[in-house]
Amino acid sequence: MKKTTPSLVWETDLPLFSAYMLRQWTYGMLATALVMVLLLGTIFAAQGEWDAMPMLGLMVVSLSGGLWLLGLIIMAVMFRGRFHVRYTLSDSGILQETVEPLAKKANRAAIILGILARKPGLAGAGLIARSRESEAVNWKGAFNAVAQPERNLIALRNGWRTVMFVQCTAENFAEVLERVNQSMQRHKTSKRVETNSPLPFYLRHTALILLASVPLFMLAEEYHLHLLAPILVLCFALTTLWLINIFGYVVYAGLLYLVVGTLMDLARVRQSSFFPGESYSGFSVIGDDETGILILASIGAGYLIWLSWRALHGGFLALLVKDHGDMDGG
């Protein structure tokens, strides 16, 4: 019978204003700003609104900078630079739980206020924060342990980022590090970490998604389709790549609307303004410009269909799903 080692449980504070944490917060805000620029910039560029780009850049910088500063103020005033957590180290892995009462109340308040105020963004942020009140890594996953004795910290990293910070105390750091190393060696956790970062793959396809979406906006404008359709396709194609594979079906739906809408507009019979009593369809008057838009939109849609098909049939994992697999071995 396999011997079970007693779990090691401790509570401690995560220092929110350490260089490590501030760097992570800054990177998060920079990533948010980049996503906003890419999404809005693609929409404006597709519509030829280049003169709006400087204002877009100023808006994104102001908004991201304001959120970054607001986050620091909340950390300082509400949490006083500390965030209380509990760790449980066992034979299966490490569980990190939020025990900070204020954080739990804030998450639940965001959900309730978002529902009452009919603001899905606020409710969604609360739900995401609520889901992250408890996170775990399993030794059957794929990550390395990077020890920082000067901070009593162990960073668990997969092929491209830190999946969990394990903040120890001065008294238990050596014991925790020893058990982590032993468990990872026993389960060969580090050997499953990819030697090459997966980021180039996701960044390359992000650029291709943005490029493929541009003619879809041109198509929607040319054939009087709702602008929400190409926006939906763009956002959910990126979501399929970075977050959850299943959203590839939404990409299918958005492209289907564009195809059907375009065909209906081309098939619609119009009355001639030059020859009273005569009529014509859009198919009969397609010019070079329209042909170019249709060809480019077809190429872009073909790529998005191929990417969604791969995501839905196991060709690749969305990066968030992949990260969860690295954490729990799933």
CA distance 114 to 321: 26
pLDDT confidence of residue 90: 95
pLDDT confidence of residue 36: 85
Angle at 101 between CA 69 and CA 170, to 5 degrees: 80
Handedness of CA 323, 327, 328, 329 (dihedral sign): positive
- Please name the residues in contact with 166: beta carbons below 8 A apart, sequence gap of 6 or more: 87, 94, 96, 153, 154, 155, 156, 176, 180
- Please name the residues in contact with 20: beta carbons below 8 A apart, sequence gap of 6 or more: 148, 151, 153, 155, 165
pLDDT confidence of residue 122: 45
Domains of the chain, residue spans: 1-11+86-196, 17-78, 199-328
The count of C-alpha atoms lying within 13 angstroms of the C-alpha of 99, restricted to the half-sphere facing its C-beta, is 13
pLDDT confidence of residue 123: 47
pLDDT confidence of residue 3: 64
pLDDT confidence of residue 101: 63
Three-state secondary structure call for residue 272: coil
Query: What is each CA distance from 32 to 28, 81, 127, in whole angstroms?
Result: 6, 23, 18
Contact criterion met (CB below 8 Å) for 79 and 16: yes
Q: Which two tokens stand for residue 251?
A: 């990409």
pLDDT confidence of residue 220: 93
Q: Which of 128, 304, 145 has the alpha carbon at shortest distance from 233? A: 304
CA distance 216 to 299: 10
Q: Which two tokens stand for residue 268?
A: 């619609």
- pLDDT (tens digit, 9 = 90+) per residue, 79-88? 788 888 999 9
CA distance 83 to 37: 31
Contact criterion met (CB below 8 Å) for 154 and 180: yes
CA distance 17 to 47: 43
Residues in the chain predicted with pLDDT less than 50, given as ranges, are: 1, 122-124, 126-127
